[in-house]
């Protein structure tokens, strides 16, 4: 039952040799990177959607919104076809490490979506750049670059659930009207949030184990510092199987969260959508999924149907077929960015000209900003760290910031406390079609993150002053304190009750729906996927009752 003692891992405190050796192991991960060989290529699944076919319902994307829609439609007796541009990782071959997914410290060709160089959220460590060249591949994490921000998203059957931290947070009731002002909060808190939490398999860490395991020393240090500065500190629920994680600590099952797996997929322990909503959906026998299929167009066809154009790709991104299928109804569940980009392009290019002027607007990044603090030598955060955050600092009401106490699972003692803050940043950006470049641009500016930084500083300036500590300057470049160039939480672009009616029906086109994070106007006050799931549960119930 005991947690792994620090000494068992050979840690005897700080030593420069170990620090450098550890850094070397991160950098040296490049050696593990292999060429994409024939062993990684494989034939398409037999259930691929046929060219020229017709389906009653087509769902674009297999993340939270799409999975809820597919399950509930199937349970109502309706046949559903889902299309997903990423891979089906459940059938992907193992990599050179003998595993499906690599560690966060050893990115390789499986890690990034169609890049030739990795783009890790933490670009540097102790002054060393961490990114390295990889073969272009349909990897699991997309670092999608716009002019002012890099948006990280999951790619594959299961969407963001494949790569995220699993933090499953319901916003506080008093904040809900700022999250979704047109939605009845009583219904959400009585029915749809509980339904979402149950469907996702949300649970809480065992507080006794938390107190004794070496793997959450970083979180206990985070608590001590937060509380000494007078901040509210709280446990945060998660979809990771907490009993499995304790068994990992006991050495009775293969390690995943306790073996540096997270950003590029977990081989065990996490209740991803393929294990929850999608497993249930498939079990109905009414849901089929075409992976490695990207939707490129949707336009009205005869008889009230829609013609959907798809690009089937191989794992190197080459188009191997173009298909057109007809669908009675189409659900846009490609994520905030994917759905917004499609709708903005389809409106501008004349495929869906009747979409209203709200399409593309109201996009925000949930106020994400990252920072690290350098602790004193007598305040180590642990050379072993669970990749799954389990706690946060709540200064939302006083300072507009909620900070996850996040891990830095490098395998060495870093003496760093690391945080991802969600802030009340009021800025909203817009997607527009750039006809000359034939792409969709996003108007977000990096300078807008100054608002988020100011809110995050309400927590960390105070802690630094109380503890006599300073900010780390080596994690996001050289001499750069704030991770202000990225988000994990894209939201909005087809906002509920603006681009759609109050249940996600797109204006101008009966039978077209939005059912993902694009509906939420830029901020959820906490991590977003429980709210995306709960809103999808609410909307699909109404749509099934009235439209199908
Ligand atoms: P999403 O899950 O992104 O699914 C959209 C799917 O559509 C993806 O699988 C795409 O590949 C696919 N797609 C896109 N375009 C097309 C197309 N044209 N054709 C076919 N398929 C397409 O959307 N949230 C939390 O609440 N807690 C956390 O701890 C947390 N940690 C995160 C950590 C990381 C590193 C990242 C990247 C995100 C994290 N998030 C977290 C955010 C969360 O995963 C995200 O809000 C949801 O996944 C969004 O759900 P959607 O259904 O909107």
Residue 199: CB within 6 Å of ligand 1? no
Name which residue leads in pLDDT, 478 or 544: 544
* Segment (H or E) for 516: none
Residue nearest to atom 9 of ligand 1 (CA): 159
Q: What is the Cα–Cα distance from 481 to 48, expressed in whole angstroms?
A: 47
Average pLDDT over residues 346-365: 98
Q: Are 51 and 333 in contact (CB under 8 A)?
A: no
Residue 57: beta bridge partners? 80, 329
Residue 294: CB within 6 Å of ligand 1? yes
- Which of ligand 1's atoms lies nearest the C-alpha of 296? 18
pLDDT beyond 80 at 30? no
Residue 112: CB within 6 Å of ligand 1? no
pLDDT beyond 50 at 38? no
Question: Residue 393, exposed/middle/buried by CB under 10 A (0-12, 13-18, 19+)?
Answer: buried
Q: What is the Cα–Cα distance from 409 to 215, expressed in whole angstroms?
A: 10
Instruction: Assign 22 a pLDDT band (cuts: 50, 70, 90).
Output: very low
| 2 assigned to some structural domain | no
Residue nearest to atom 3 of ligand 1 (CA): 335
Residue 492: CB within 6 Å of ligand 1? no
Residue 409: CB within 6 Å of ligand 1? no
pLDDT at 128: 83
pLDDT at 129: 86
pLDDT tens for each residue of 40-61: 444 434 579 999 999 999 999 9
| 11 assigned to some structural domain | no
pLDDT at 11: 29
How many Å lie between the centroid of ligand 1 and the Cα of residue 335? 6
By C-alpha distance, which of 406, 365, 372 is closest to 389? 406
Instruction: Assign 469 a pLDDT band (cuts: 50, 70, 90).
Output: very high
pLDDT beyond 80 at 508? yes
By C-alpha distance, which of 423, 489, 453, 431 is closest to 152? 489
pLDDT beyond 80 at 254? yes
pLDDT at 164: 98
Q: Is 404 a catalytic residue?
A: yes
Residue 84: beta bridge partners? 291
How many Å lie between the centroid of ligand 1 and the Cα of residue 63? 6
Residue 407: CB within 6 Å of ligand 1? no
| 235 assigned to some structural domain | yes
pLDDT beyond 50 at 471? yes
pLDDT beyond 80 at 140? yes
Name which residue leads in pLDDT, 6 or 125: 125
**In this prediction, what percent of the chain has a pLDDT beyond 70?**
92
Residue nearest to atom 16 of ligand 1 (CA): 334
Query: Residue 237 contacts by C-beta under 8 Å, 6 or more apart in sequence?
Result: 167, 168, 169, 197, 202, 203, 204
Average pLDDT over residues 147-155: 98
- Which of ligand 1's atoms lies nearest the C-alpha of 160? 48
Distance (Å) of CA 111 to CA 29, 217, 219: 12, 28, 27
How many Å lie between the centroid of ligand 1 and the Cα of residue 224? 33
Q: What is the Cα–Cα distance from 140 to 160, expressed in whole angstroms?
A: 9
Residue nearest to atom 51 of ligand 1 (CA): 335
| 306 assigned to some structural domain | yes
Neighbour tally for 1: CB within 10 Å: 8
By C-alpha distance, which of 458, 439, 460, 337 is closest to 400? 458
- Which of ligand 1's atoms lies nearest the C-alpha of 263? 35
pLDDT at 15: 32
Instruction: Assign 537 a pLDDT band (cuts: 50, 70, 90).
Output: very high
Q: How many domains does the chain have?
A: 1
What is the Cα 416 distance to its own chain's centre? 24
Q: Domain of residue 191: give its range.
A: 16-91+106-547
Q: What is the Cα–Cα distance from 292 to 279, expressed in whole angstroms?
A: 19
Distance (Å) of CA 175 to CA 365, 424, 505: 17, 11, 25
Candidate of 59, 90, 164 to mutate for ligand 1, largest count of ligand atoms within 8 Å of Cβ = 164
pLDDT beyond 50 at 1? no
Residue 364: CB within 6 Å of ligand 1? no
pLDDT at 477: 86
pLDDT beyond 80 at 86? yes
Q: Which of 248, 485, 489, 541 is catalytic?
A: 489
Lowest mean pLDDT: which of 23-27, 205-209, 369-373, 492-496? 23-27
Q: What is the Cα–Cα distance from 508 to 257, expressed in whole angstroms?
A: 46
Q: Are 476 and 122 in contact (CB under 8 A)?
A: yes
pLDDT beyond 90 at 276? yes
How many Å lie between the centroid of ligand 1 and the Cα of residue 317? 20
How many Å lie between the centroid of ligand 1 and the Cα of residue 518? 11
pLDDT at 141: 98
| 146 assigned to some structural domain | yes
Neighbour tally for 465: CB within 10 Å: 10
Residue 527: CB within 6 Å of ligand 1? yes
Alpha helices in 320-418 (DSSP H): 335-348, 396-399
How many Å lie between the centroid of ligand 1 and the Cα of residue 266? 15
Q: Are 166 and 239 in contact (CB under 8 A)?
A: yes
Average pLDDT over the chain reads: 92
**Greatest extent of the chain over all pairs of C-alpha atoms, in Å:** 72
pLDDT tens for each residue of 291-309: 999 999 999 999 999 999 9
Alpha helices in 201-327 (DSSP H): 207-212, 217-228, 242-250, 277-283
Candidate of 83, 153, 325, 530 to mutate for ligand 1, largest count of ligand atoms within 8 Å of Cβ = 153
Q: Are 139 and 110 in contact (CB under 8 A)?
A: yes
Instruction: Assign 13 a pLDDT band (cuts: 50, 70, 90).
Output: very low
Residue 528: CB within 6 Å of ligand 1? yes
pLDDT at 211: 98
Average pLDDT over residues 436-462: 98
pLDDT beyond 70 at 16? no
Tokens for 425?
């940043």
Candidate of 262, 317, 335 to mutate for ligand 1, largest count of ligand atoms within 8 Å of Cβ = 335
pLDDT beyond 70 at 462? yes
| 6 assigned to some structural domain | no
Question: Residue 99, exposed/middle/buried by CB under 10 A (0-12, 13-18, 19+)?
Answer: middle
pLDDT at 363: 98
Alpha helices in 409-482 (DSSP H): 449-467
pLDDT beyond 70 at 36? no
Name which residue leads in pLDDT, 38 or 11: 38
Q: What is the pTM of this model?
A: 0.93
- Which of ligand 1's atoms lies nearest the C-alpha of 517? 53
- Which of ligand 1's atoms lies nearest the C-alpha of 162? 44
Q: Which of 404, 413, 537, 541 is catalytic?
A: 404
pLDDT at 123: 86
Q: Is 211 a catalytic residue?
A: no
Residue 340: CB within 6 Å of ligand 1? no
pLDDT beyond 90 at 18? no
* Segment (H or E) for 324: strand 319-332
- Which of ligand 1's atoms lies nearest the C-alpha of 141? 37
Average pLDDT over residues 227-243: 98
Average pLDDT over residues 70-98: 97
pLDDT beyond 50 at 538? yes
CATH value at residue 290: 3.50.50.60
Q: What is the DSSP string of 180-221?
A: -TTS-HHHIIIIIHHHHHHHHT-B---HHHHHH-GGGHHHHH
């Amino acid at each position: 039952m005991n947690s792994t003692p620090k000494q068992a891992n050979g840690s005897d405190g700080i030593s420069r040799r170990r620090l450098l050796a550890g850094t070397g192991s991160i950098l040296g991960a490049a050696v593990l990177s292999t060429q994409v060989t024939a062993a990684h290529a494989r034939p398409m699944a037999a259930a691929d959607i046929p060219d020229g076919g017709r389906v009653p319902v087509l769902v674009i994307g297999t993340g939270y919104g799409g999975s809820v829609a597919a399950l509930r439609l199937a349970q109502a007796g309706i046949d559903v076809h889902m299309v997903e541009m990423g891979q089906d990782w459940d059938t992907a071959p193992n990599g050179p490490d003998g595993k499906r997914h690599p560690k966060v410290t050893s990115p390789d060709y499986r890690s990034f979506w169609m890049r030739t160089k990795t783009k890790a959220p933490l670009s540097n460590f102790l002054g060393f750049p961490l990114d390295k060249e990889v073969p272009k591949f349909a990897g699991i994490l997309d670092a999608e670059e716009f002019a002012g921000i890099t948006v990280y998203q999951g790619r594959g059957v299961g969407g963001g659930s494949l790569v995220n931290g699993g933090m499953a947070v319901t916003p506080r009731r008093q904040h809900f009207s700022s999250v979704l002002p047109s939605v009845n909060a009583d219904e959400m808190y009585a029915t749809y949030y509980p339904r979402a939490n149950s469907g996702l398999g949300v649970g809480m860490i065992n507080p006794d184990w938390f107190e004794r395991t070496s793997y959450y020393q970083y979180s206990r240090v985070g608590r001590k510092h937060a509380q000494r500065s007078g901040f509210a500190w709280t446990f945060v629920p998660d979809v990771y199987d907490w009993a499995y994680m304790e068994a990992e600590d006991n050495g009775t099952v293969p390690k995943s969260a306790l073996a540096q797996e997270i950003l590029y997929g977990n081989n065990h322990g996490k209740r991803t959508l393929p294990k929850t909503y999608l497993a249930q959906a498939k079990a109905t026998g009414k849901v089929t999924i075409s992976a490695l299929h990207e939707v490129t167009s949707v336009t009205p066809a005869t008889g009230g149907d829609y013609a959907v154009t798809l690009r089937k790709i191989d794992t190197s991104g080459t188009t191997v077929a173009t298909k057109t299928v007809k669908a009675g109804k189409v659900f846009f569940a490609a994520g905030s960015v994917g759905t917004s980009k499609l709708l903005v392009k389809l409106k501008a290019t004349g495929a869906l000209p009747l979409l209203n002027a709200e399409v593309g607007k109201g996009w925000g990044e949930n106020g994400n900003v990252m920072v690290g603090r350098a602790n004193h030598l007598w305040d180590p955060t642990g050379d072993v760290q669970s990749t799954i955050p389990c706690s946060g600092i709540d200064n939302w009401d006083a300072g507009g910031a909620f900070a996850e106490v996040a891990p830095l699972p490098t395998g060495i003692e870093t003496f760093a406390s690391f945080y991802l803050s969600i802030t009340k940043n009021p800025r909203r950006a817009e997607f527009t079609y750039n006809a000359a470049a034939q792409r969709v641009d996003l108007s977000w500016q990096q300078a807008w993150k100054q608002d988020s930084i100011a809110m995050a500083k309400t927590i960390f300036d105070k802690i630094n002053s109380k503890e006599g500590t300073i900010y780390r300057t080596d994690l996001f470049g050289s001499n750069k304190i704030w991770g202000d160039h990225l988000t994990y939480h894209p939201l909005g672009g087809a906002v509920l009750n603006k681009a759609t009616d109050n249940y996600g029906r797109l204006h101008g086109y009966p039978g077209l729906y939005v059912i993902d994070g694009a509906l939420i106007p830029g901020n959820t006050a906490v991590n977003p996927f429980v709210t995306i799931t709960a809103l999808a549960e609410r909307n699909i119930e109404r749509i099934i009752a009235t439209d199908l």
